[in-house]
């Protein structure tokens, strides 16, 4: 369902929980399904059920959304939180065990990292570099991607890697973030990384 409705126009769908009718309209949606409490999707179609209270967002390509968010996290100028590490790890396709091996540590240390409010300085840089490398490698190796889409994503990746070098320099002089960085993502940002076709929101497992 394309996001071309007026902000106050209501559409309907069936509730996946209780089977009642859900009403949906374009609004801002806090995307806690990704494991972070500080992500807001702007101007997306959100369905709410008046019977059971459940809400469900429809978003552009979930993989594209997660790439956008991962790039935003990689570019932040304060140290990563443990929850942001967990998100980056999952988007990059690493299990906790695999990431521990790649980063030269143990699964128990990984668990401690993911429960910290802010990572240590060297750990922060290690996590960013590992995840950025893996995300870029996945783009290069993705089978069946149209050449135009691949070229566009590679250009975005090159831009992100250049910006991350500057971010790593600036973050050295910064202390731990006092409050979580708020990430706001709109359909225009998503169109740079993926399709504009709508699909149900996907939860990182």
Query: Is pLDDT larger for residue 161 or for residue 129?
Result: 129
Q: Where are the alpha helices (DSSP H) in 3-95?
A: 62-75, 82-91
Residue 183 CA to its chain's centroid (Å): 9
Q: What is the pLDDT of residue 110?
A: 95
- Burial tier of 102 (Cβ tally within 10 Å: 0-12, 13-18, 19+): middle
Measured CA to CA, the distance from residue 139 to residue 151 in angstroms comes to 10
Residues 190 and 158 in one domain: no
Q: Which helix (H) or strand (E) holds 111?
A: helix 107-114
Measured CA to CA, the distance from residue 128 to residue 171 in angstroms comes to 12
Q: Where are the alpha helices (DSSP H) in 27-171?
A: 62-75, 82-91, 96-102, 107-114, 121-141, 147-171
| Whole-number average pLDDT of the chain | 80
Residues 172 and 190 in one domain: no
Taking 90 as the threshold, does the pLDDT of residue 111 lie above it? yes
CB 58 within 8 A of CB 1: yes
Handedness of CA 160, 165, 168, 170 (dihedral sign): negative
Domain boundaries, position 142: 77-178
Q: What is the pLDDT of residue 1?
A: 37
Residues 98 and 168 in one domain: yes
Residue 70 lies in a domain: no
Residue 196 lies in a domain: yes
Digit-coded pLDDT (tens) for 42-78: 988 888 888 888 888 887 678 888 988 998 999 888 8
Residues 173 and 101 in one domain: yes
Query: Is pLDDT larger for residue 105 or for residue 191?
Result: 105
């Amino acid at each position: 369902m394309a996001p071309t409705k007026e902000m106050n126009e209501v559409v309907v769908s069936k509730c996946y929980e209780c089977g009642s009718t859900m009403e949906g309209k374009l609004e801002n949606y806090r995307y806690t399904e990704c494991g972070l409490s500080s992500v807001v999707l702007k101007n997306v179609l959100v369905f709410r059920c008046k019977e059971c209270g459940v809400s469900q967002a429809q978003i552009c390509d979930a993989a594209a959304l997660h790439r956008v968010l991962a790039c935003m996290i990689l570019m932040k100028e304060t140290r990563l939180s443990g929850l942001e590490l967990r998100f980056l790890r999952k988007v990059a396709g690493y299990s906790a065990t695999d990431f521990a091996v790649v980063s030269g540590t143990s699964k128990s240390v990984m668990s401690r990292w993911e429960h910290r409010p802010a990572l240590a300085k060297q750990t922060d840089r290690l996590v960013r570099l590992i995840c950025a490398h893996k995300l870029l490698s996945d783009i290069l190796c993705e089978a069946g991607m149209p050449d135009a889409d691949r070229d566009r994503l590679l250009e975005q990746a090159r831009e992100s890697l250049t910006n991350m070098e500057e971010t790593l320099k600036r973050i050295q002089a910064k202390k731990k973030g006092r409050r979580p960085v708020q990430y706001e993502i709109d359909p225009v940002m998503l169109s740079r990384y993926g399709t504009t076709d709508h699909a149900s929101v996907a939860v990182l497992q």
